Structure 1
């Protein structure tokens, strides 16, 4: 059987930080038979800062379907390249980002072995409540560089 990895970017949602600030996040879904992935199907919500997406427009409207669609398509194309790169597929941060609900701070801690759960546990248990693995002390892991 031939190996495949499919990526979908869908369901843009406006997230309001406060009265003046809002951002868009997206659902990223993966379906694969690749041995590089622990979980064969997953969907997570992410706000992304990636290269080669259509540039931000100072007059960007969170309600402009054309601009949102262009950004989603750019993200999908970028992720297609990423999930087909053997070098990038060896990084557990990538798998945690794409297949768990952990924050970037917790992804870093998990990948570095500073959590009470393994990368595999975080990926397989994201939908059933990763909170059961976390303690209050893990909430205090200092913010470090993004993965």
Structure 2
């Protein structure tokens, strides 16, 4: 799909595909299908020009609800493919129809400038964050920004080096039961004590 938008002298293109359905298992009894969303664009609306993420049907439902709420009902949103109580993960035709409906939904969404200004849409399309993490990021409750989450979308889970350092510092400074942090502190203390003992021994030897 290609959506062309005429900007200031330049032609902006947004291409999106929903493809590659895969069955994912939560446990022995529960499973679901997720789909790969591929995006390619030269639009100034997007920080990242190419991306690939995987989303399931329930996340599309969440996205539509969020876009509707954030637009204060000013945006007429397209419909998602209806939820079928008899939907089967092993029915190739049903899966293909739903996948086509999801792509049509995104194609129409990406034609709206109001939707393109919504951070939830960008994180949905170009980050590996879950829907709860997207809500936290948009609300400013995470240590990383929307742009950083999109930039690190190639990672399985978003963790910047700074976040990892912060997590390590917090875990070691808190009353943690982490043996690694506790051992490292004791090792440093033991090393300092051994050095001081060695220095005393040398002084005594020199005096004798």
Alignment TM class, shorter chain as reference: 0.7 to 0.9
Q: 2-side partners of 1:122 and 1:52: how far apart?
A: 26
Match of 2:158 in 1: 130
Does residue 30 (structure 1) correspond to residue 39 (structure 2)? The answer is: yes
| Structure 1 gaps, min length 5 | 138-147
Cα deviation 1:53-87 (Å, max 9, x = unaligned): 144142x3212111111111000000001112111
Moved more, 109-118 or 70-79: 109-118
8 Å CA contact 1:39–1:124 kept in 2: the answer is yes
Q: Is the 8 A contact 1:5 1:84 kept in 2?
A: no
* Structure 1 CA distance for aligned equivalents of residues 80 and 132 of structure 2: 24
- Rg (Cα) greater in structure: 2
2:146 matched residue in structure 1: 119
CA offset at residue 3 of structure 1?
0.9
Deviates further, 15-24 or 48-57:
48-57
Describe the superposition over 1:105-139 as per-residue Cα deviations: whole angstroms up to 9, x where unpaired.
111111111111111010011214522347769xx
The match for 2:123 is: 96
Work out which structure has the larger RCO, using CA pairs closer than 8 Å and 6 or more positions apart in sequence.
1
* Separation in structure 2 between the aligned mates of residue 57 and residue 14 of structure 1, nearest angstrom: 18
1:67 equivalent in structure 2: 94
Of 80, 83, 92, which aligns to 2:107?
Answer: 80
Structure 2 distance, partners of 1:70, 1:57, is 15
Question: Which shifted more, 73-82 or 10-19?
Answer: 10-19
The alignment partner of 2:11 has SS state of coil
**Number of residue-to-residue matches in the alignment:** 136
